[in-house]
Structure 1
């Protein structure tokens, strides 16, 4: 494994700037996740590191070596794509062994066999080694695709939303597996996704990216609790943070220039007013989502919709009037910058 440095990298496609003055350092053994919506520049960043795209400006280095103009084969990276991209006519064993049989990095047959079987066991597909790739389930094919990268021991693994095409259960299972494997191998991984759950559960640090620019980077807790701006605040949190007009709570002490309040669901107190009374309280409960361990309360407050959090045993129901009190609000100015 090795450290990776991206310095002031810019990439344009015609009039579109996909990556703009991007700088990030990835330490040896880190699991960095780039989080952002479609079109934010996440995949382009991976392709620039892999050498599949050339930057218009800036510098890239791996293990202290400048690779800005180096061809992909000379960069020692392994790329896991969103789609499986397996060789359908080959067995699982041969798919896993394929990168190790490259004439560029020759390896003895016994060493290849040992490596393939070790990674297959790690991914829990050792009983599928003789199967053709086309005879596997979607989750198994994705494990093979990830395994084909893991056999390589590269300087860095680049992963482009490799779990996005799987169902929710498989995604959850493979998130845990991938994090476990990364810890066991001490692997350096740059992983891109638009899925906040993947970012929060796997990353050592999250880099939030917007229109090719790195807006903020930090641990999942830092990003969640201290977002740099409203855009970052919206990237993490389920349900999403409530962004409301600063005047919605006139009695709340707020900094000058505050235009928007950010209210996370768990940072707002909610209480039913007057038992079953319907005529009191500023908030009207429109809908309640029962999620087993908690309830999401959909409230309309003076015409503004809010989603709030309540205990699973809460007796608040649709049609109730409630009082709503912010407890840990975030403050943003008119441009969305944090105050």
Structure 2
């Protein structure tokens, strides 16, 4: 199957404007808008119940929106039936036909098309699709004779054989074991790059989205609260909820007491901290959080001088630690910041510090490595 040609690339432009979906008094999707260029790996990320799967169903045509429009390649497809849309979906549980072998599963949709497609063309397209997902040697097997990763690739081939403009994926890796899931992340991203078509990928796994997507839309309560590149999302979250949802973050509550040139001053119970980048415009007097990523903190033994270059320090004792192969995560109870999590590479200071609970340590960081984010609470909208 060739990489998308210019005509198909032109068809792949997806534009969603003010999309809403209501179920009685419940608004599952609320005023969602985004524009997706061809060839983009776009992840919809959020916790269970945030509306990401409902949004995917609206794109696929399995649900009818209460308001808003969906445009694809210049055409309005808001009310076009699912089987007429140039999009295909890979479902969470694959939905393979157990009584059909791999070849027949992949070619099923082509056999249903009208006017009919010649058998020779169907076979050629199925062979190309199976070769693309590296299953050309397993065409005669039944789904129950395949591993989880192989079944996932059959579902991908079945969706891609119709040459869709956009491929929709609803948590397709969630049923796989941890190592296979990582392997399939690499394969999926490589496949999307080769094909040159857009993927809309639903997941609740932050690491999965960060490692695969070109853009990530974080959803909360039916709305997209941040649509950014993975790097921007991780480094510049729009509020404390997004900061805590993406990766691990330490928070120290406080109040903004000054801002100038993109740098902010915050006053907390632990003291006043200046020269810290902020993720949004914050005026003095506003509630905010000093946010510190665990990997941007350093750990040392008191008196060793290892944190001498850090502009901010806090003393404490190790409460607990966990080993992760290439790194160690420590929870340190400090006198000023409370409990903070510190992540250190195993090849670094971890070899030189007694990580047992009760060990006295110093935690250090630089203001440029911290962030100040607006405080979000459940009463806020969204």
Task: Answer yes or no: same fold by TM over 0.5.
Answer: yes
Unpaired segments of 5 or more residues in structure 1?
Answer: 276-280
Kept in 2, the 8 Å contact 1:242–1:265? The answer is yes
Summarize the Cα distance change of 1:159–1:105 in structure 2 as closer, same or farther, 3 Å threshold: farther
Kept in 2, the 8 Å contact 1:258–1:332? The answer is no
Q: Which residue of 1 aligns with 2:263?
A: none
Kept in 2, the 8 Å contact 1:258–1:331? The answer is no
**Higher relative contact order by CA 8 Å / sep ≥ 6: 1 or 2?**
1
C-alpha distance in 2 between matches for 1:260 and 1:270: 22
Kept in 1, the 8 Å contact 2:239–2:374? The answer is no
How far 1:100 sits from its partner (Å)?
1.4
Q: Which residue of 2 aligns with 1:286?
A: 319
Match of 1:182 among 166, 169, 192: 192
How far 1:105 sits from its partner (Å)?
5.9
How far 1:304 sits from its partner (Å)?
2.5
1:244 is aligned to 2:273: no
C-alpha distance in 2 between matches for 1:105 and 1:146: 24
Match of 1:326 among 344, 365, 370: 365
C-alpha distance in 1 between matches for 2:219 and 2:123: 40
Kept in 1, the 8 Å contact 2:238–2:373? The answer is no
Match of 1:262 among 291, 300, 304: 291
TM-score by length of 2: 0.82
C-alpha distance in 1 between matches for 2:173 and 2:51: 18
Judge which range, 245-254 or 159-168, deviates more: 245-254
C-alpha root-mean-square deviation of aligned residues, in Å? Answer: 1.9
How far 1:7 sits from its partner (Å)?
0.2
Q: Which residue of 1 aligns with 2:88?
A: 78
TM-score by length of 1: 0.92
1:1-339 to structure 2, matched below 5 A, reads 1=8, 2-104=12-114, 106-237=116-247, 240-246=248-254, 247-253=268-274, 256=284, 257-274=286-303, 282-302=315-335, 304-313=338-347, 314=350, 315-316=352-353, 317-318=355-356, 319-327=358-366, 328-335=369-376
Matched residues, number:
330
Summarize the Cα distance change of 1:142–1:211 in structure 2 as closer, same or farther, 3 Å threshold: same
Judge which range, 288-297 or 244-253, deviates more: 244-253
C-alpha distance in 1 between matches for 2:210 and 2:217: 11
Judge which range, 69-78 or 35-44, deviates more: 69-78
Deviations 1:237-286 (A, max 9, x none): 2xx111222325314226733532111012223222147xxxxx731111
C-alpha distance in 2 between matches for 1:335 and 1:195: 21
C-alpha distance in 2 between matches for 1:294 and 1:9: 43
Kept in 2, the 8 Å contact 1:62–1:75? The answer is no
